[in-house]
Chain A
């Protein structure tokens, strides 16, 4: 440490701070996205997601052919049209793989910072607890958008590389050309992003309860699994419309002509409810929490 301390540290004059009290409202968001998508773990999660369509495509290519009616929906159509790799992979990743990755990211939001000790430095910066919580949730949502897109794009790319690409027959029987099929693919990705928003809010809340990020991650994933199991039990039928995973597989409506928006709207409304409840819980918890880590 050089011994002479210059009196003029650039940008530090108090007059400057008074003149621009609230400079960069978005800089924390930028920084958060940079940290999230700059770290290796996020890339590993996205690569794992991208591996799903690749695995499916390679398996189908190497096998002699898929008997119709076996395996996940759309699987038997892949050899005729590579775009179905993307649809198949998205369908396959909904129950476990996407919730798993979202659980890791959402469960890490606050608990991860607390675990590293950086939470206290963000708070004394000061980031502001409400602002930090909002930024953390927004970053988790950004991951919810990127994750299904990764599956879709990797699926389309590997499908186009290994199989012919042609017109797609929709569930309603209509036939659309590949460019429109790509639009439908993006719609499904958007549907999934909305589907995962509620789970992210749950993960965010769980993340404010602990300083052990793995605990919050695991709890979030468990919650998503329990919700899906409950959705399968006929005895709990009264509960089904309230489960955040209830509409997760309803994106087939994006593959009809015209698009049926009912399940999209019901899903969005349900997820908004979960965001409100768990967002408020996270707010209540985090704004009163003693940061002792």
Chain B
């Protein structure tokens, strides 16, 4: 799938670009030939069940772990070779927040900001204050992190990622441990940052989260990248199907077969039999369950025509719907298992 055309204002094509990125731990292949393509300005969701290799990939992107093979380019520069040019422009939250428990929130940010030679010490205080304010921690700035709740630590971790101007934010499970209010705030924050031109790479095992804040997504499964592209593209590849509830199963099957629709074995119920028939993959509206009349003009057999044929053939139609595979169905199909399996 095409990751979208690069912004001509940027000097580099893709914000994150990996080729054949592989990480082996002994005989175990944690990440297997991943080709990521994250376009600038996107909010890129990095999906996959726990243990699918997301965090290992992120560690390789940031130079924390070396790749067994393959290449990484961040902001148009090779990693980890040019980390001292790349990383000052990258804010990161990797595998949960981690801080010195005996230091206050503000002191922790001061320390991490002082760790690099690329920040301006004169503005450090102001930047720390601003970052804490951005994540709503201003009131707890001088409390020891030891006394922070998980959600507060998570916020502090995001504040750390926001200390300087960043061209790229890498957020690994940013809403972990946050209450619903905090989750919404993070979503809002991510959108505003993206609006200001920062590319955001968010990993998550929560589909809804990606669905709500991302423009692009990639799906990992067992160390492999199984899908990648804009969210609209990913939805489009899902197929549509017809769900029909009727007491006249046999006759309905004949009619549907006459229309070229193949339906599997029916599911007998009290109200009759439920038949499912796949429509040709369509480029329809993005909603997961649409009214039949919206399906017109896509080269498919029109839903109303199907109903008309059925009724004309004497089939009693008790229920009829055109269903589009949801994003979740699609991801479950890709990863072969439910999300959240290991939690």
Contacts and interface: CB of A to CB of B under 8 A. Distances in A.
Asked if A pairs with B, the answer is yes
Interface of A: 1-7, 9-14, 16-17, 20-25, 27-28, 30-31, 34-35, 38-40, 116-118, 120-128, 132, 288, 290-292
Contacts of B192: 3-5
Contacts of B5: none
Interface in B101-124: 101-103, 110-124
B127 A126 contact: no
Given A10-B126, A35-B100, A1 B155 contact: yes
B234 interface: no
B123 A24 contact: no
B114 A28 contact: yes
Contacts of B87: 124-126
A71 B227 CA distance: 76
Given A121-B160, A290-B66, A39 B102 contact: yes
A40 B101 CA distance: 12
B123 A126 contact: no
Contacts of A4: 192
For the complex of A and B, 10 pairs with smallest distance between CB atoms? A11-B123, A117-B98, A12-B165, A1-B185, A5-B192, A126-B87, A125-B115, A290-B65, A27-B114, A127-B115
B98 A28 contact: no
19 contacts: A1-B135, A2-B136, A4-B192, A9-B127, A10-B123, A11-B120, A12-B165, A23-B117, A27-B114, A27-B117, A27-B121, A35-B111, A117-B96, A117-B98, A120-B94, A124-B64, A125-B112, A290-B59, A292-B59
B118 A17 contact: yes
B130 interface: yes
Nearest to B130: A9
Nearest to B123: A11
A122 B113 CA distance: 9
Interface string B79-100: 0000110011010101111111
Contacts of A3: 185, 188, 192
Given A5-B134, A126-B83, A22 B117 contact: yes
Given A11-B120, A290-B59, A118 B99 contact: yes
Interface of B: 59, 62-66, 83-84, 87-88, 90, 92, 94-103, 110-124, 126-127, 130, 133-136, 155, 160, 162, 164-165, 182, 185-186, 188-189, 192-193, 195-196
Nearest to B166: A12
Nearest to B131: A9
Contacts, number: 150
B45 to A, nearest CB: 20
A5 B193 contact: yes
Nearest to A31: B114
B164 A12 contact: yes
Contacts of B155: 1
A11 B111 CA distance: 17
Given A2-B134, A10-B126, A23 B115 contact: no
Contacts of A17: 88, 118, 120, 164-165
With most chain B CB atoms within 10 A of its CB, the pick from A1, A17, A291 is: A1
Given A35-B111, A124-B90, A126-B84, A11 B126 contact: yes
A121 B112 contact: yes
A118 B153 CA distance: 13
A5 B158 CA distance: 14
Contacts of B111: 31, 34-35
Contacts of A25: 117
Contacts of A124: 62-64, 87, 90, 92, 94
